[in-house]
């Protein structure tokens, strides 16, 4: 059985964007070469990437072109290759097709389809997008959080999760520090028995 891993850059107050539409590209992020190489290594290990429409459209706008853009550093071109080549599932109510090795699911049965994907997949399934991650969490399917915390307090903006009505117990699996004060915390979610 696979495991859903919600992977996100966050501020110290667990915000993922300060203003709508910054799509995780806010000036508060401190993503240097060392951190991006870590992203590449972890993304390469994913069996599947599952993304909501907003994050998918942000990614498809940039990464397929980045893989062949010689003006970019090698680690960015590498991520472009990883993102383009990795099997993906786009969860969307408005799109019915997508390129770049992507299957589209949506509608009223998306969570059931994601549960099936988890059951038939070996390894980590990356989850991208706060709306999607909240739905997966509410369904009891989210297994891990991989948070890259940047040394900034935004004070407002999009939170890591939408409102959730009960506490979530976590167990720390690993932690690491990166350049410019960024820390990584990888947690397992304790599921109720």
DSSP labels, 70-87: TTS-HHHHHHHHHHHHS-
Q: Which residues contact 121 (CB under 8 A, 6 or more apart)?
A: 1, 2, 47, 48
- Give the per-residue pLDDT at 105: 95
C-alpha 183/C-alpha 147 separation (Å) is 8
Is residue 21 pLDDT above 70, yes or no? no
For residue 114, is pLDDT > 80? yes
Q: Please answer whether residues 92 and 75 qualify as being in contact, where contact means their C-beta atoms are separated by less than 8 angstroms.
A: no
Mean pLDDT of 115-137: 95
Q: Which residues contact 9 (CB under 8 A, 6 or more apart)?
A: 16, 24, 29, 31, 148, 150
The pLDDT of residue 134 is: 93
Alpha-carbon torsion angle 174, 33, 157, 188, nearest 10: -20
Per-residue pLDDT at 145 exceeds 60: yes
* Residues 36, 171, 28, 5, CA torsion sign: positive
Once rounded to an integer, what is the mean pLDDT over residues 22-37? 83
The proportion of the chain whose per-residue pLDDT surpasses 90, expressed as a percent, equals 83
Question: If you average pLDDT over residues 143-150, what whole number do you get?
Answer: 98
Tell me the C-alpha distance between 171 and 191, whole Å: 11
Query: 50-106: per-residue pLDDT in tens?
Result: 999 989 998 999 999 999 999 999 999 999 999 999 999 999 999 999 999 999 998
Distances (CA, A) of 89 to 84, 101, 105, 146: 12, 9, 7, 19
Rounded Cα gap, residues 51 and 79, in angstroms: 16
27 pLDDT tier (thresholds 50, 70, 90): confident
Q: What does the pLDDT average to over 154-176?
A: 90
CATH topology of domain 2-189: Dihydrofolate Reductase, subunit A (3.40.430)
How far apart (Å, rounded) are the C-alpha atoms in residues 16 and 70?
Answer: 29
pLDDT score, position 26: 76
DSSP 91-145: E-SS-S---SSEEEE-GGGHHHHHHHHHHH--EEEEEE-HHHHHHHHHTT-EEEE
Residue 132 CB contacts under 8 Å (≥ 6 apart), including other chains: 50, 51, 52, 55, 91
**Residue-averaged pLDDT of the chain:** 93
């Amino acid at each position: 059985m696979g495991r859903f891993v919600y992977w996100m850059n966050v501020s110290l107050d667990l915000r993922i964007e300060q203003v709508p539409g910054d799509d995780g590209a806010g000036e508060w992020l401190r993503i240097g070469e060392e951190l991006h190489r870590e992203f590449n290594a972890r993304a390469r290990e994913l069996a599947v990437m599952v993304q909501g429409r907003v994050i998918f459209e942000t990614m498809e706008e940039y990464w397929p072109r980045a893989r062949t853009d010689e003006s970019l550093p090698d680690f960015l071109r590498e991520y472009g290759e990883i993102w383009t080549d990795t099997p993906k599932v786009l969860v969307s109510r408005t799109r019915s097709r997508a390129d770049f090795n992507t299957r589209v699911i949506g509608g009223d049965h998306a969570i059931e389809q994601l549960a099936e994907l988890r059951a038939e997949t070996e390894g980590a399934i990356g989850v991208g997008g706060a709306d999607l991650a909240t739905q997966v969490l509410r369904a009891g399917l989210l297994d891990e959080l991989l948070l890259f915390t940047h040394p900034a307090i935004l004070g407002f903006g999009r939170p890591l999760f939408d409102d959730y009505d009960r506490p979530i117990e976590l167990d720390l699996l690993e932690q690491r520090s990166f350049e410019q004060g960024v820390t990584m915390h990888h947690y397992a979610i304790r599921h109720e028995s």
